[in-house]
Amino acid sequence: MRQRVVRVALTAVLVALVLLAIPLALAIRSTLYADQRDTLERAALAAAVRVNPDYATGDPVELPSPGPGERLGLYDPKLILRAGTGPRSGDAAVSEALGAVIARDQTAGELVVAVPVSHNEQVIGVVRASSAVSVVRDRVLLGWAALLGAAVLALTVAVLVARRQARALAAPLEALSRHSRAVTDGDLTARAEPSAIAEIDQVARTHNDMLHSLSELLRHERDFTANASHQLRTPLTGLHLTLETGLAQDDARLRPVLEEALAATRRLHHTVEEVLRLAGSPGLPHRVAPDRLVAQLLDETDERWHGLFAQDGRRLDCGSQDAPADVRVPGGPVAEILGVLLDNARTHGHGGVRVTVRDLDDALAFDVTDEGGLRTEPGRLFARGHTGGGAGGTGIGLALARDLAVSLGGRLFLASGDPTTFTLLVPVRQDAGAVSGEAAR
């Protein structure tokens, strides 16, 4: 920004200097030439007054002494030099002055002024005053040099003033930029300092107010996450203990129901953990999701969802095309994403549903496909709060699944609209034992 301010100031000064200096230089030249002609005219008039009308009969003529670099000469009507200095024969200016007019001319490198000498209303001679053009030209060049010096001085002052103003303007903006970078790096306590420029101070105050509001919003969200963690974990833990106590009772009729309820409680507990982990609350310990084999994950998914689809008269197939058995993925998050996709297929899809795993070397692709067609705009599928219109839809599931995929370093996207196919890409690593075995071979 500093260079931009200096360039703008210098451009304005240069334009002003050009617009002023060129006319001023021409005015200096015109004025100096006009002054020299006036000087010659005054000298010629002073000499003409002193010319005796009887000079033609031999009376000596006493012309005044010319100025430095000037020549004075008296010519008779026959254009012959009778006194003073000048060309032996009168030139065009002398001929013109014989017509009883003051003649001005520039010839042969000289400025010439010719003044007629009259007696009894007749022109009896001409006084010719001249000076070298080079004398005036030197004065013009000196004037132009002075003008150039003044322009350079003005340009130098403009550069100094522009640099100072650039520093004054850029310093608070650079400070605001550093403050914004600090906020980007996570320091929400940073605040922009006031400066001497009212407009920038207004921006800084607005920025500080926005940052204060954002900090308060984030604080409320962190508090909500911590409160939700406490309020959800406590009853879930109590329910888990109650179900385990019920399983300790020797009641064959209630055991299957209690086991299913206990499994659902564990899944709910894992779901809460993943949502809180994704929220990233600083008050919660960071947990790395344990890895699970793909085959185990598919079996658990089929066991959980097969009965639900069967109740609706629909088929669920879970299988692996070419994924090796020793490949592991983060079990909890992937299971949650597959659960969201299967619930979405059950609510908004039709026909059978197929979960397929494909090997992509450094990643696995989980494809969830149903026989229904897409009934909403693809660009709005993952928008939080948007729902396809199915019963009970909240518009949160797909957005949550996408965020979970990003937190794993993967990606969730719509691969096809007819039939509807969602693809989850998950980075993987092989089992340590299998890898060491491969190395040994």
Answer yes or no: is 44 within a domain. Answer: yes
Ramachandran assignment for 220, one of left (phi > 0), alpha (psi -120 to 50 degrees), beta (any other): alpha
- Report how many helices (DSSP H) and strands (DSSP E) the chain contains, helices first: 9, 13
Closest CA to 291 of 429, 418, 424, 181: 429
Cα–Cα distances (Å) from 111 to 34, 88, 187, 231, 400, in that order, read: 10, 17, 80, 107, 95
pLDDT digits (tens, 9 = 90+) for 152-178: 998 899 888 888 888 877 777 778 788
Task: Give the CATH number, domain containing residue 95.
Answer: 3.30.450.20
Answer yes or no: is 173 within a domain. Answer: no
Q: Using the 3D structure, point to which of 279, 313, 348 is the last residue of a domain.
A: 279
* Segment (H or E) for 128: strand 122-132
* Segment (H or E) for 105: strand 103-107
Q: Are residues 362 and 337 in the same domain?
A: yes
Q: Using the 3D structure, point to which of 279, 301, 326 is the last residue of a domain.
A: 279
φ/ψ of residue 389, rounded to 5: 100, 0
Name 330's Cβ contacts closer than 8 Å, sequence gap at least 6: 289, 290, 291, 292, 408, 426
Q: Are residues 309 and 260 in the same domain?
A: no
**Average pLDDT for residues 183-205, to the nearest whole number?**
79
Instruction: Note the pLDDT of residue 225.
Output: 67
If one counts the domains in the chain, the total is: 3
* Segment (H or E) for 317: strand 316-320
**Average pLDDT for residues 187-212, to the nearest whole number?**
80
pLDDT grade for 438, boundaries at 50, 70 and 90: very low
- Angstrom distance (rounded) from CA 349 to CA 372: 5
Cα–Cα distances (Å) from 169 to 2, 4, 190, 255, 297, in that order, read: 8, 11, 21, 77, 61
pLDDT digits (tens, 9 = 90+) for 53-96: 888 777 788 888 888 889 999 999 999 998 899 999 999 999 99
**Average pLDDT for residues 322-332, to the nearest whole number?**
78
- Angstrom distance (rounded) from CA 319 to CA 308: 18
Q: Answer whether 218's CB lies under 8 Å from 203's CB.
A: no
How confident is the prediction for the chain on average, in pLDDT? 81
pLDDT digits (tens, 9 = 90+) for 11-24: 888 898 889 999 99
Instruction: Note the pLDDT of residue 273.
Output: 67
Answer yes or no: is 183 within a domain. Answer: no
Q: Are residues 97 and 229 in the same domain?
A: no
| Range among 143-147, 182-186, 298-302 rated most confident | 143-147
Q: Are residues 258 and 306 in the same domain?
A: no
pLDDT of 368 > 90? The answer is yes
φ/ψ of residue 369, rounded to 5: -125, 135
Q: Which residues face 368 on adjacent strands?
A: 355, 422
Instruction: Note the pLDDT of residue 215.
Output: 83
Name 47's Cβ contacts closer than 8 Å, sequence gap at least 6: 63, 64, 72, 74, 84, 115, 127, 129
Q: Are residues 254 and 394 in the same domain?
A: no
pLDDT grade for 230, boundaries at 50, 70 and 90: low
Answer yes or no: is 228 within a domain. Answer: yes
Instruction: Note the pLDDT of residue 1.
Output: 67
Q: Answer whether 128's CB lies under 8 Å from 90's CB.
A: yes
pTM attached to this predicted model: 0.47
pLDDT grade for 281, boundaries at 50, 70 and 90: very low
| Range among 21-25, 264-268, 270-274, 425-429 rated most confident | 21-25
pLDDT digits (tens, 9 = 90+) for 25-56: 999 999 999 999 999 999 999 999 888 888 87
Instruction: Note the pLDDT of residue 241.
Output: 64
pLDDT grade for 392, boundaries at 50, 70 and 90: very low
Range of the domain at 331: 291-439
Q: Are residues 116 and 221 in the same domain?
A: no
Q: Are residues 336 and 219 in the same domain?
A: no
Q: Using the 3D structure, point to which of 97, 114, 143 is the last residue of a domain.
A: 143
Within a 13 Å sphere around the CA of 38, how many CA atoms are in the beta-carbon half? 6
Q: Are residues 126 and 229 in the same domain?
A: no
Q: Are residues 100 and 27 in the same domain?
A: yes
Instruction: Note the pLDDT of residue 147.
Output: 93
Q: Answer whether 177's CB lies under 8 Å from 205's CB.
A: no
Q: Which residue has the tokens 């006493």?
A: 62
**Average pLDDT for residues 242-265, to the nearest whole number?**
69
Q: Are residues 240 and 359 in the same domain?
A: no
Instruction: Note the pLDDT of residue 113.
Output: 95
Answer yes or no: is 69 within a domain. Answer: yes
Within a 13 Å sphere around the CA of 399, how many CA atoms are in the beta-carbon half? 12
Answer yes or no: is 155 within a domain. Answer: no
**Average pLDDT for residues 266-287, to the nearest whole number?**
58
Q: Are residues 100 and 23 in the same domain?
A: yes
pLDDT grade for 295, boundaries at 50, 70 and 90: confident
Answer yes or no: is 301 within a domain. Answer: yes
Which one-letter DSSP state was computed for residue 356? Answer: E
Closest CA to 28 of 181, 146, 189: 146
Give 305-368 as a DSSP string. Answer: HHHHHHHTT--EEEEESS--TTEEEEHHHHHHHHHHHHHHHHHH--S-EEEEEEE-SSEEEEEE
Answer yes or no: is 167 within a domain. Answer: no
- Angstrom distance (rounded) from CA 356 to CA 367: 5
**Average pLDDT for residues 226-242, to the nearest whole number?**
63
Instruction: Note the pLDDT of residue 436.
Output: 37
Report which of residues 254 and 166 the model is more confident about: 166
pLDDT of 286 > 50? The answer is no
- Tokens standing for residue 71: 């020549």
pLDDT grade for 325, boundaries at 50, 70 and 90: low
Q: Are residues 412 and 336 in the same domain?
A: yes
Task: Give the CATH number, domain containing residue 382.
Answer: 3.30.565.10
Report which of residues 346 and 376 the model is more confident about: 346
Task: Give the 3-state secondary structure of residue 211.
Answer: helix
pLDDT of 353 > 90? The answer is yes
